[in-house]
Amino acid sequence: MRQDSKLNQFRRVFEKEGAAFVWSFLYFFSLLTAYFILRPIRDAMGIASGVGFLPWLFSATFIVMLVVMPIYGALVSRFPRRKFIPYVYLFFILNLLLFWYFFANNIRMDIVAQVFFVWLSVFNVFVVSIFWSFMVDIYKSDDSKALFGLIASGGTIGGITGPSVVTLFTETIGSESLLLISAAILVFAIFCVFKLVALRKEKLNKNDEINETENKTGAIGGGVWAGVIEVLKSRYLLGISVLVFLLSLTATFAYFQQGSLIFEAYPQTDERVQVFGQIDLYVSIIALVFQVFVAGPVMSSFGVKGGIIILPLVTFVGFLLLSISPTIGVFVIFQTIRRASEYGMFVPSRENLFSVVSREQKYKSKNFIDTVVLRGGDVANGWFYNLLNTVMGLSIGAIAMVGVPIAALWGILAWRLGKAHAKNEQ
């Protein structure tokens, strides 16, 4: 009876928001397809100079993020969302065309490969952060619980499509041509934004009228670093910041361990690209199962806390097993399930945490957390891993054991934030 009630609730939401859901689904599908076409190339380039070079690439990514953040903040302050979102995506499309030119003509690939690694890391954070900011702004909190898991599955299907494109077409058209395919898909993402703006025109206009009363005139307004100030003023947002930092810490440990094991097991770059692509494919398939069959029912029944706790639990068990048996087989299974639960449960749950904050916090504070906190965490945690592995000489298994208590603390924080979200909804 309870299941029938949940199904009827979803049907009511879908009848009301069906068109917006379809375009949101296609929007995220196009973004993640474009990204996952590029990701295996980036990962292979990242370890081309050895895993020890990765902290430098992470540091460069963070520096670029610090430069880009004020520009993004100024853009958000001056333009309504219906204008600045297409501009951001158009900028990245032009970047891809420039990379294609360098790739196709084999111009300074030693440097371009490193620039591409940094660029794609920035690209992924910004396009996904902007997407979810847009989603939490156009959907009500109750509707988001019913739909966000399925909307996220559009990105997961993109995560299946992207690696499949790489596997099927790299040998015939070359890796440089994949950049053009990715750029064309991003053009379609802009089209999806326009369709959603048209569907939400009345609601967005109403929001703009309210914001005019608050002296915002349709744009989000405020200073460039207003998001930082909002984070420092809010215990809730500070908690989310720590949550994201611990996500970065555990993910960085896993990413460096992955790089070390694959670097040693597969000497050829083409082999590494194929392995990275296969892992991405397996991750996306399992994540799709989470999103379609698990995320919606779990969050509807247990709230955000039920969905956000799963990834820390998986990470805790995975690091424990890896500390006992640090083999590539154990790691591939752990990394696949870890990333699948991240995309399938943790991401939609974490994004729901922002459904109870103000509009300025949704865009500025959320973007600060998703960029500076996340990428700053990548840098700090990358050098921390390098310290444990290179300076202190700890093995992959020993480092995994260090991750066990960290994952436990992460899980406790995630549960408490989920409960705080439920309280703020009341």
* Model confidence pLDDT, tens digit, residues 119-155: 998 888 778 878 887 887 777 656 666 677 778 778 8
Residue 239 half-sphere exposure, CB side, CA atoms within 13 Å?
18
pTM: predicted TM-score of the whole model, two decimal places: 0.72
Question: What would the pLDDT profile of 359-392 be if each residue is shown by its tens digit?
Answer: 777 767 887 887 788 878 889 999 999 999 888 9
Q: Show the tokens assigned to 28.
A: 């995220």
Tokens of 124: 């992924």
Query: Tell me, what amino acid is at 42?
Result: R
Helix runs in 303-358, H state only? 304-308, 310-324, 328-341, 347-352
Instruction: Please state, in angstroms and as integers, the Cα–Cα distance from residue 368 to each residue in 83, 110, 113, 374, 385, following that order.
Output: 20, 31, 27, 9, 24
Residue type, 200: R
Q: Which residue has the tokens 């295996």?
A: 40
Winning range, highest mean pLDDT, from 14-23, 193-202, 214-223, 291-300: 193-202
- Residue type at 113 in one-letter notation: A
Q: What pLDDT sits at residue 171?
A: 74
> What is the pLDDT confidence band of residue 220, given thresholds at 50, 70 and 90?
low
CA-to-CA dists, residue 36 to 33, 95, 139, 167, 179, angstroms: 5, 17, 26, 11, 11
Confidence class for position 294, pLDDT limits 50, 70, 90: confident
What pLDDT, in 10s, does the model give residues 202-214? 655 555 555 544 4
What is the extent of the structural domain holding 387? 2-425
At residue 331, the pLDDT reads 87
The count of domains in the chain is 1
Q: What is the pLDDT of residue 8?
A: 59
User: Buried (b) or exposed (e) across 397-406, using 16+ Cβ within 10 A?
Assistant: bebbbbbbeb
Residue 262: give its domain's CATH number. Answer: 1.20.1250.20
Question: What mean pLDDT do residues 180-187 have?
Answer: 95
Q: How confident is the model at residue 70 (pLDDT cuts 50, 70, 90)?
A: confident
Q: What is the pLDDT of residues 230-267, one digit of tens each?
A: 888 889 999 999 999 999 999 999 999 988 888 888 87
In the predicted structure, residue 77 carries a pLDDT above the cut 70: no
- b (16+ CB within 10 A) / e for 43-81: bbbbbbeebeebbbbbbbbbebbeeebeebbebbbebbb
pLDDT at 155: 83
Q: How far is CA 341 from CA 290, 338, 410, in A?
A: 7, 5, 15
What's the chain's length in residues? 426
189 φ, ψ (degrees, to nearest 5): -60, -40
Residue 52 binned pLDDT confidence (cut-offs 50, 70, 90): confident
Give yes or no for residue 5 having a pLDDT over 60: no
Q: Is the pLDDT of residue 191 over 80?
A: yes
Question: So what's the pLDDT on residue 224?
Answer: 47
Amino acid (one-letter) located at 424: N
DSSP run (H or E) holding 219:
none
